[in-house]
Amino acid sequence: GGAPAARESIQSYTVEKRDEAVRQAKRMLDAFDARLRTLEERLNADSARWSAAVSARIDKELAALKAQRAQSARQAERLGNASKKAWEATKSAFVKSYRRLQRRLEKLNSDMLARKTIHDRPSSQSTGQ
């Protein structure tokens, strides 16, 4: 939804508006967290149908996603401490980190929606559907 506009608004902040930029970055991360919780709930609901290999793959991807989220949070904190000289580079680093985070979540989400990575367990167990 509004993620591109949010990224652009981070880019438009001047160093004088540093505190606002930090608040915006935190709002972006909060929105990401809500999307991640929704995805995790859906993954948990589907997990009974997965093979061990799929479960391991999803766990690994979620761990990587959470590590990437922690990196984005560190970048957001750096915004609050950035000098005037480092401001543009610090903003860019946050935006790049957040974009990678978004892409990773979207990929996991679309893989799940498409059921590409989920259904490698034989379907003979779910004959009731």
Instruction: Give 42-68 pLDDT, tens digit per residue.
Output: 888 888 888 888 888 889 999 999 999
pLDDT surpasses 60 at 85: yes
Read off the pTM. Answer: 0.79
Nearest to 109 by CA among 45, 62, 51, 73: 62
> What was the pLDDT predicted at 106?
93
At 7, the pLDDT band (50, 70, 90 cuts) reads: low
Do the beta carbons of residue 12 and residue 82 sit within 8 Å?
no
What are the distances in angstroms from CA 12 to CA 1, 43, 91, 103?
19, 36, 9, 22
Average pLDDT of the chain is 85
What are the distances in angstroms from CA 34 to CA 37, 115, 119?
5, 22, 25
